[in-house]
Amino acid sequence: MGPQEPSPLVPTGSYWYRPVRMGSMTLYCRVVATPDGPFTVIASADAVLASGWTADPDFLLVRLRLSGTAFDIDLHPYPDISSDPESNCLDQALAAVSAYYQGDGTPAQQVPTHQPATAFHTAVRRALHDIAYGHRIAYAELAAAAGHPRAVRAAATVCSHNNTALFIPCHRVVRRDGTPGGFLYGTAIKQSLLTREAESQIRFSVVFRK
């Protein structure tokens, strides 16, 4: 029996968020179903601010506040996000999630993201961003790639505080012995992502050799 095709992404909710203290900026959110469970994306018109395998947008909003994104938010129904031309970043992100589950990880790493950051955070996130689909590195390698080879624990902390899961692929960082290590959304999902990417690369290699 061959591998099952990924289930299609099915919108399970669509909301918009009106920031009280961020001028006229609007945040858009959608929850979609994936083979690894519900996946939520929160984006401005320009960048993804938060994303992850949860059906609860409030979980991500709490993480935004804890990371230093300070604003009050009122939640209102937003029934048809396609009617707003400024939601194009969310549209891009959702298309990238769909492509990822069809075996193409490139679009996910082309989605713009924004997170509050020090110079060290920025260096580590750039190193994370550069980990190619289907590849994985150890935490020590991540620290070295960020230019801080002795800051392994601090680099791991940046991974754990990553608010834009999938688009900044912190799931591709593993322990030195090759085991997955921690992941905000659970080790099972992290292992599923790594396995999915590895199997996709194998299938691509077989097709390419033919």
- Name the 3-class secondary structure at 159: helix
For residue 170, indicate whether it is catalytic: yes
| Residue with tokens 């960048």, as numbered in its chain | 47
**CA-based radius of gyration for the chain:** 17
Distance CA 52, CA 38 (A): 8
Decide if 58 contacts 73 (C-beta within 8 A): no
Instruction: Name the strand (E) or helix (H) holding 155.
Output: helix 152-160
| Residue with tokens 């608010």, as numbered in its chain | 163
Q: How many CB atoms lie within 10 A of CB 2?
A: 4
Catalytic residues: 170
